Amino acid sequence: MNEPTRSVPAEITRPKYIGEKVKRLEDPRLLTGAGRYVADIRMNRMVHLAFVRSDQAHARILSVDADDARAMPGVIAVFTAEDFAYIPDLSAPSRMKDYHATHCPVLARDVVRYVGEPVVVVVARDRYVAEDAAMQVTVDYDTIDATSDPVEAIKPGAVALHDTVPGNLVLERTFATGDAPADIAAAPHVVEGRFRLRRKSPLAIENRAYVADYDRGRDAITLYGSTQVPGVVRDELARLLDLPGNRLRVVAPDVGGGFGGKGSVYPEEVIVTALARQLERPVKYVSDRLEDLTSTSQGFDEIVEARLGFDTEGRFLALDAEIIGDIGAYSITPWTAALEPVQVASFLPGPYRTPAYRGRVRGVCTPKPPTGPYRGVGRPMAVFALERLVDMAAAKLGMDPAEIRRRNLVRPQDFPFRIGSGIRWDHSGFAECLEKAVEVADITGFRARQAKARTEGRWLGLGIGTYAELTGIGSRIAVAPGMPINTGAETASVRIDATGSVTAVFATASHGQSLETTLAQIVAEELGVRPADVTVVQGDTGTTAHGTGTYASRSAVIGGGAAIVTTRTLLKKVKRVAARLFDVTPEEVETGNGEIYVPETNHRIGFGDLARAVYSDMTTLPMEAREVLEAQGNYDPFLGTTTAATHIAEVEIDAETLAIRLTRFLVAEDCGRMINPMVVDGQVHGGVVQGIGVALLEELHFDEAGQLLSASLADYLVPTSAEVPKLEVHHLETELPDNPGGFRGMGEGGTIGAPAAIANAVADAVAHLGLGINELPITPSKLNRLIADNQKTE
């Protein structure tokens, strides 16, 4: 056989890429301004949209006068709800018992239910004309009473926001193991509290934006969207517009952040797509910051009333909780209103061995924008409430906060461990993360500094936040809440083309997590090429049959799992073909650094040579040996994998101004096998900074009637470098989880652990005043009110 060979050294060291700080492949494009975001897209004959949004929280629409807008030069059309009567309402059904779905029209019809709800859409030659015309539209409203307080909204006699949601109660569910109320009544010690996490905005640096391009010849549409879930959007648009999926393509180009806010289906996406088809020309909409703050789904907004019973040794006996989740005006599509509040109840028992648990959760409609996915989903509230109770229990016993956690954490010999809500923890570094964080923090040294500072009139505090979460959630967990989609599987396709180039296609959609780099590292290591040799294609429904996108810390576990499974199948093909060329068995063939070879021989070819032998050279290989160098695969972890961490925060509070300054923050986390330590550090840092905002700064203020009072970045405050200390991150790799890569998700952990650690640190700093921190964000003005209220009761 005519066998291509090269004169190279016999021994080749196969480089390892998983676990290495490979430079981001995205950076040359993004850092030089060559990225392509939706706002960058320009097309011939493109028109622009502007929305007239409700300035009322709850009101009947009496009339719409758009005559002056239609008469303006450059205005092409003005549309109201009746023009989209053929489009079904957005709805998120659920199989959950006692669940009441809401129905959200793409433009408000008859009634508006939150400030910012779209009522009218103006189409014009450019955005400036569209906005000017929108200002000329007059909407006459008849105000309807409503309350923005979820507790008041479910009281008898409260005005109903929807006829289909009796008593404004969208859902009610109870988790129970044992008899928690009875065990708490019999417990030697009990601590309790009412905890509140205020509403947040995901606030991505890029606002939501969409461009729809219509192909008249095929009656097909391509929607370019700043979305995390192109597959979900495609499937929902196909249903709403009655179009087959092969004539509807959704592409997420470069996306400037999401944090969950771009993880749902929005009316604007439907309208942009429908109008492109109706007008037979490209249609573009880019929201501004005011629209983003008032119409993008919001996060958290829960009240937890909880009691923890424990014995004189500090061992937990029972946990009982009542949870109210403010879901806003509509149940978010497709995740349902259960997404956030039910996960609070699910994760509330945390990483501890608490024998009895009862958690009742209620989701309540209020006249505010819908709540939806937000980094951490439910767990920041659950961890905040539980970790405050843990610190309160330690204080009641005069016990070190680290010691009470040590006595109650799930131990290595306990795994797998099922908590009271039914969640199953697999092996993760619960205890190891705590011990590492405590060791590095030098708590004994801090207590000495704290005591000295108090004599000088300075208030120092240290707080611990320990948590566990499920990541890479598989299909069994995804369908348990009755959601209408399966989020537990991921597909991949990896191919070598006729030139030897490697292309890996995924249904994931990166919005800043370095997925191009990390997925390329996985494929490169498995196949034996360099990361730079791999082109990663993602965020395009035209390239995959199914896929939901990127959210819930799933891309490393599920996307990485699909990459490994698929690439290993392709590697078997490569070895079989090379074995025919070399006249050896496939087991003798190795790959590495872009070469295919047989160790201790001079049999060497590049991937390009192999591809030519398969696709182009009709004399080198017999027909039956010419395998298509492509593989497709699917990975579903079924349940998911557990990630754990401990965060420790140190704060200093100015006794005069009550300004709260974060002076130190450290994280000990177990994300399993790290794909790229540099990327892991970046994700932890970003999550912690977002958690700092949750704890100290960010709050969407609504008045009693539902008017948003913090609708600009002058009022909605986010962390800057001035509020962030140096972040210390310590990585642990305990027993690796049972998935192909040994990966655990970690993208959300910073936001989950940081609020609780900071709340406990502030509580520690003001413990001498007899105060507790039960609401976040905690600000100087709120701290001042706590001190004043405490002085009144003394």
Where residue 346 sits, what CATH number does that domain have? 3.30.365.10
Structure confidence at residue 747 (pLDDT): 92
Q: Do 648 and 617 share a structural domain?
A: no
Pairwise CA distance, residues 47 & 132, whole Å: 15
Pairwise CA distance, residues 465 & 445, whole Å: 19
pTM of the model: 0.96
Q: Do 520 and 465 share a structural domain?
A: no
Q: Do 767 and 626 share a structural domain?
A: no
* Residue 746 domain-assigned (yes or no): yes
Contacts of residue 488, Cβ cutoff 8 Å, sequence gap at least 6: 473, 474, 475, 476, 477, 478, 479, 558, 636, 637, 638, 640
The domain boundary, picked from 635, 665, 691, lies at: 635
Q: Do 498 and 466 share a structural domain?
A: no
The answer to whether 777 and 710 have CB atoms below 8 angstroms apart is: no
* Residue 167 domain-assigned (yes or no): no
Q: Do 655 and 757 share a structural domain?
A: yes
Q: Do 653 and 625 share a structural domain?
A: no
Q: What is the CATH number of the domain that holds 250?
A: 3.90.1170.50
The answer to whether 634 and 735 have CB atoms below 8 angstroms apart is: no
Pairwise CA distance, residues 187 & 214, whole Å: 66
The domain boundary, picked from 613, 635, 657, lies at: 635
Pairwise CA distance, residues 398 & 193, whole Å: 19
Question: Nearest-CA neighbor of 463 among 652, 649, 725, 653?
Answer: 649
The domain boundary, picked from 583, 605, 635, lies at: 635
Q: Do 539 and 423 share a structural domain?
A: no
Q: Which residues of the chain have pLDDT under 70?
A: 1-12, 478-482, 484, 794
Pairwise CA distance, residues 697 & 200, whole Å: 10
* Residue 158 domain-assigned (yes or no): no
Angle at 740 between CA 737 and CA 743, to 5 degrees: 50
φ, ψ (nearest 5 deg) of residue 711: -100, 25
Q: Do 270 and 121 share a structural domain?
A: yes
SS3 letters across 25-51: CCHHHHCCCCCCCHHHCCCCCCEEEEE
pLDDT digit string, tens, across residues 45-90: 999 999 999 999 999 999 999 999 999 999 999 999 999 999 999 9
* Residue 160 domain-assigned (yes or no): no
* Residue 526 domain-assigned (yes or no): yes
* Residue 617 domain-assigned (yes or no): yes
Q: Do 593 and 553 share a structural domain?
A: yes
Structure confidence at residue 28 (pLDDT): 95
Q: Do 331 and 446 share a structural domain?
A: yes
Instruction: Please give the distance of CA 729 from its chain centroid, rounded to a whole number.
Output: 21
Q: Do 404 and 343 share a structural domain?
A: yes
Which structural domain range is residue 388 located in? 302-476+638-793
Q: Do 585 and 499 share a structural domain?
A: yes
| Domains of the chain: total | 3
The answer to whether 372 and 299 have CB atoms below 8 angstroms apart is: yes
* Residue 18 domain-assigned (yes or no): no
Strand-pairing partners, residue 493, are 505, 632
Contacts of residue 764, Cβ cutoff 8 Å, sequence gap at least 6: 391, 461, 462, 463
Give SS3 for 364.
Answer: strand
* Residue 493 domain-assigned (yes or no): yes
